[in-house]
Amino acid sequence: MTASDAPICLVDLDNTVVDFFGHLDAGLARLHPDQPLHDRSRFVIWGDDVDRNAAIRDVITEQDFFATMPVYDGARDALIQMQRAGISVVVCTSPMTSNPMSWSAKAAWVRRHLGQRFVEALAIAGDKTLVRGDVLVDDRVGLTGRREPEWQQVFFTQPYNADIDGPHLDRWANWEEVISPLIGGGDFR
């Protein structure tokens, strides 16, 4: 099988490979200890409280916020295992437009934790439906865009998506049993 025939697994970064909300909470505790932690039962970041929104903006616009997000247990190893099994793994993440540094900081995170090969395949796209793949592992519910996606979504389980129909990946150690059947199973080398 050639590299161009390999199945493509797109993998979101925030709240899928890295703990965005945990990192946000740590930043809020450090910069704005008067602000409550994020309600992890909801995906929504922004709300009606102007002061809270300003506190969140202070945290996520820090230059190194995205470059220093903590990785979920097993995520790095799972992505490398997928790649070794012949699956083309593409980190497919959306930019945070309120932080213009998010593009370069996310690329720096990928380089530091996954290596240059993953940076070369990195897709930073506001509209993930424009990115070709067989499977997209993402926590976000209701992904829409300009096109009908070519990929099938696998929800990386979070409290706000646990009751959504469709395949779920609860932890990275289970990637093979969830993703392999969706892309034809087996070793793709």
Q: Is the domain of 33 the same as that of 111?
A: no
Query: Which residue matches tokens 């995170």?
Result: 109
pLDDT at site 175: 97
Query: Which residue matches tokens 């993440």?
Result: 93
Q: Is the domain of 74 the same as that of 109?
A: yes
Q: Is the domain of 74 the same as that of 57?
A: no
The sheet that has 88-93: what strands, in order across it? 123-124, 88-93, 8-11, 135-138, 152-156, 168-169
Q: Is the domain of 61 the same as that of 77?
A: no
pTM: 0.93
Amino acid at 24: L
**Mean pLDDT in each 10-residue stretch from start to end of the chain (189 residues)?**
79 97 96 93 90 95 93 97 95 91 94 95 96 97 93 97 97 96 74
Task: Give the CATH number for residue 162.
Answer: 3.40.50.1000
Domain that holds residue 41: 20-66
Question: Which of 120, 33, 19, 117 minimizes the C-alpha distance to 66?
Answer: 19
Q: Is the domain of 125 the same as that of 60?
A: no
Region for residue 10 given its phi and psi (left: phi exceeds 0; alpha: psi -120 to 50; beta: otherwise): beta
Determine, yes or no, domain membership for 38: yes
Q: Is the domain of 48 the same as that of 114?
A: no
pLDDT at site 2: 54
Q: Is the domain of 62 the same as that of 143?
A: no
Q: Is the domain of 89 the same as that of 160?
A: yes
Active site residues: 12, 14
Domains held by the chain: number:
2
Determine, yes or no, domain membership for 29: yes
Determine, yes or no, domain membership for 146: yes
Query: Which residue matches tokens 């809270």?
Result: 52
C-alpha 42/C-alpha 116 separation (Å) is 33
Q: Are 135 and 183 in contact (CB under 8 A)?
A: yes
